[in-house]
Amino acid sequence: MDLLKPTRSGTVGIVFAVLGFVFLPILASGQWQQILTSATCFTLAASGVAFMYARLNMVSLGQVALMGVGGWVMLRMNHWLDLPFEVNLAVAGAVTMAFGWVLALPALRMRGLYLALITLMAAGGLEVIFSTFRFPNGGEGFWGVMPSVAAPFRRPVIAESDGAYLRYVIAVTLLGFLVIEAHRRMAPGRAWAMIRKSEAAALASGVNITYYKAWAFGLAGLLAGVAGGLLAGGLGLLDAATFRASESIMLFALAVVGGARLWLGVVIAGVLYRVLPALFNNWSLDADLTLVIFGAALLHALITAPDGLSGQIFGLFGKGRRS
C-alpha cells in the first residue's frame, strides 16, 4: 500500500480530528475542556493497546499502568529540570518505550491468556509502586513528593490555556494515529499481519517474530508514555488511583467495544472511558453505572460486532452508500 495514499476512513478521521481541533475548545467550557483533554489522552493510550490487539492479536493489559510511567517521568522532569515541555514529553515517551520493552521480555514467547496475565501482573506491580511512592509534585529527592501543595507545572509555550492545551493534545494524538497507520503500511505492519496469521507463516516469510513483537510493545509503550505525559500536563499532578491495574483492563475492554481495528473505535473507547462518567456526574447519576453500560456494550461487541461499535457505524454508512 502506498504510504501517503489516503483511505476513505483515514480521510474521515483527519477531517474529524481537524473539526475537533477547531471547534471542541470553542464549544466546551473550562471543566469540559479538561475532561476532553483527559479523554483524548486515554484515546492515544488506547490506540496502542488496540493496534496490538487488532494487528498482532496480542492482549496487553498494562497500558494504563504504562501511562502512569510516562506521567511519572513527565512530572519528574518538569520539577527537576527547566526543559521545554516537548523535551520532557519526548523523554517520557522514550523511557516508557524502554519500560515497555523490559516488561515485554518475558512476554515475547507467550501468547493469548498467558501474555494477558503477565502484562496484568506487571500493571499490578506498577500500581503498588505508584501507590507507595506517589507522583512527583515538586518535592525533594528522587521521588520528588512533598506533602499538601504541589509546585506549578509548565505547559507548552504555545498551549498554556486549557483550550489551547486541548488542541495541542488533539494534534499529538492525531500524530500518534498517523504513526500507527504508517507502521501498518510498511514492513512492520506486514510482519505483524503474518505473525497474527500464524507464527509458522511469519517464519516462512523471514519475519523475526521476537524483534517485531518487541517493536510492537515498544510502540505501544511510546504511545502510552506520551499519553501519560500529556495527561500530567493537563492536570498538573497525577494520582495513583488513575493508574490501577483494573483501569488497564477497562481501557482494553472499551477498545474492544469501540472496535480495535478502526480509528473511530479507539476514539469511542476514549470517550466512553472519560466522557460518559463525567456526563453521569453532570446528570447527578452515579458514575459507577457506566460500568453496567460498559459490561453490556462488551457483551454486545463480543456477540454481534467483531469490529465493535465503529465497525457497525462504518457498516451503516457503507450500506447507505450501496443502497
Nearest CA-CA partner of 230 in 138, 141, 167, 140:
167
Instruction: Report the alpha-carbon distance of residue 217 to residue 62 in Å, rounded.
Output: 11
Identify which of residues 208 and 281 has a Cβ nearer to another protein in the complex: 208
Which residue number, 196 or 300, has a Cβ lying nearer to another protein?
A: 196
Residue 7 is given by DSSP the state P
Smallest gap from residue 47 Cβ to another protein (A): 17
Question: 208-230: buried (b, 16+ CB within 10 Å) or exposed (e) per residue?
Answer: ebeebbbbbbbbbbbbbbbbbbb
Nearest distance from C-beta of residue 285 to another protein, angstroms: 40
Residues 6+ apart with CB under 8 A from 311: 259, 261, 262, 265, 305
Minimum CB–partner distance for residue 312 and another protein (Å): 19
Residue whose CB is less far from another protein, 106 or 189: 189
Using the minimum distance from each CB to another protein, give the nearer residue, 91 or 195: 195
Q: How far apart are CA 88 and CA 293, in angstroms?
A: 37
Largest CA distance in the chain: 66
Choice between 191 and 297, CB closer to another protein: 191
Among 71, 50, 55, 27, smallest CA distance to 265 is for: 50
- Whichever of 4 and 157 has its CB closer to another protein, that residue is 4
Residue 40 CB coordination number (10 Å): 30
**Chain position carrying cell 491468556:** 113
Amino acid at 257: V
Distance in Å, CB of 215 to another protein, minimum: 13
Q: Which is nearer to another protein, 191 or 256 (CB)?
A: 191
Distance CA 264, CA 9 (A): 9
Contacts with another protein, residue ranges (CB under 8 A): 1, 55, 187, 190-191, 193-194, 196-198, 200-209
Which CB sits closer to another protein, 31 or 208? 208
DSSP 106: G
- Taking the complex as a whole, the smallest distance from the CB of residue 306 to another protein amounts, in Å, to 13
CB of 55 to another protein, least distance (A): 7
> Cα separations (Å) of 147 from 126, 137, 140, 151?
22, 9, 11, 11
Q: In whole angstroms, how close is the CB of 200 to another protein at the nearest point?
A: 6
CB of 117 to another protein, least distance (A): 26
